[in-house]
Amino acid sequence: MLILGIETSCDETSASVMRGEDVLSNVISSQEVHAQFGGVVPELAARAHLQMIIPVVRRALTDAGVSLTDIEAIAVTAEPGLHGALLVGENFAKALAMTHNVPLMPINHLEAHIYSGFLERRDIAFPFLALVVSGGHTMIVLVHSIHQLQLLGTTQDDAAGEAFDKVAKLLGLGYPGGPAVDRLAAKGNPKTVVFPKPLMHEDNFDFSFSGMKTSALNIIRKPSNTFSKEDICASFQSAVVQILATKTIRAAQRYNVRDIVVAGGVSANSHLRADMLRRCDALHIRLTVPRLAYCTDNAAMITNLAAMKFAAGIVPPATVASATSTLLPFRV
Ligand code: KG4
Ligand code: ZN
């Protein structure tokens, strides 16, 4: 089946074409307009999607070497995300599906992150555990089957990516902050600054990152602060990664899974990747972290989940709106 997937939930306009399990194209256009504001401005995001949606879809078709009339189904991110941004993709996809008389599969963005590991290997065994860490969400999900997800824990306040972004902003590192913190951390000493590790030892799978952000604020604004940016980044990153990894591994052991997928924008973090790999290797658990282009927001993961759903015999619902929150209880 030849599927065109579209993603416009936040600040990347993306389109991808897959034939069966093969990704033929994955075009991602990142909006730069938000950098000056230190965060995504919803209204500007929607307008930028309107500008980019046609060129991005055209490019995805060209890169794949196919034309619109070859497409047999369309997949689109239906939630969660910024409403105005989502509407651009949803309406565009609806119109295409209607004019070409092909089915439209609405996809939950977080569920797509969870299954992005399958873009790297197809033999991930159910039940598997997914740690989804992005700018908007941090959660541990037990995936029983393509029909059943179990949310084990989530953040009680900020998402991990949001915490990275806020610390980066305090340090004047620009937006998005995660990659900048990652880069500086490589030159710092993670043992210099002591950060709290909220909920790490609690017997649950929830997270809380807002206290760490406040702690960073107090350290950075203190007149007597002599810590370098590198040391603050290294210490902060190390604490966040320790929390994420400790809780994920604990869940994997509790539920006896053999496969873990780490996905979402923060899974691009070099320390998180290295630390999870070390811990998983020690326990003979297989870790899958998608390549960078499949970690941050992209349409290949949307197309991939649609392909998996079609392959499992899941029929698209009658309307996009009625389809979306059957598995994950999130709406941003
Ligand atoms: O999944 P994503 O692209 O968008 C959302 O759905 O939120 O995630 C974006 C988040 C941002 O907060 C960004 O700072 C973070 O992922 N991020 C990173 C790294 N690369 C991106 N965080 C830590 N280290 C990185 N290398
Ligand atoms: Zn995302």
Which tens digit of pLDDT belongs to each residue from 245-265? Answer: 999 999 999 999 999 999 999
| End-to-end Cα, the chain, rounded Å | 32
Phi and psi at 278, nearest 5°, equal: -60, -45
The model's pTM: 0.91
> What does the pLDDT read at residue 319?
63
Minimal CA–CA distance to 194: which of 153, 158, 227, 156?
Answer: 227
- Ligand 1: which residues within 6 Å by Cβ? 10, 134-136, 161, 164-165, 176-179, 182, 264-266, 268-269, 296-297
Nearest CA to ligand 1 atom 8: 265
Residue 135 C-alpha to ligand 2 middle, in angstroms? 7
Task: Note the pLDDT tens digit of each residue in 46-77.
Answer: 998 999 999 999 999 999 999 999 999 999 99
Greatest CA separation for the chain: 66
DSSP-H helix ranges across the chain: 42-64, 83-100, 109-115, 160-170, 177-185, 210-221, 229-254, 270-283, 292-295, 299-311
The rounded Å distance from CA 192 to ligand 2 centre is 31
Establish how many alpha carbons lie within 13 A of residue 131's alpha carbon, considering only the half-sphere containing its beta carbon.
32
Residues of the chain under the 70 pLDDT cut = 318-332
Here the tokens at position 225 are 């602060």
User: Which residue of 8, 181, 244, 296 sits with most ligand 1 atoms within 8 Å of its CB, as the best mutation to test the pocket?
Assistant: 296
Report CA(185)–ligand 2 centroid distance (Å): 23
Q: How far does the centroid of ligand 2 lie from the alpha carbon of residue 80, in Å?
A: 9
Q: Distance from the CA of 48 to the center of ligand 1, in angstroms?
A: 20
Which amino acid residue places its CA nearest to atom 26 of ligand 1?
Answer: 269
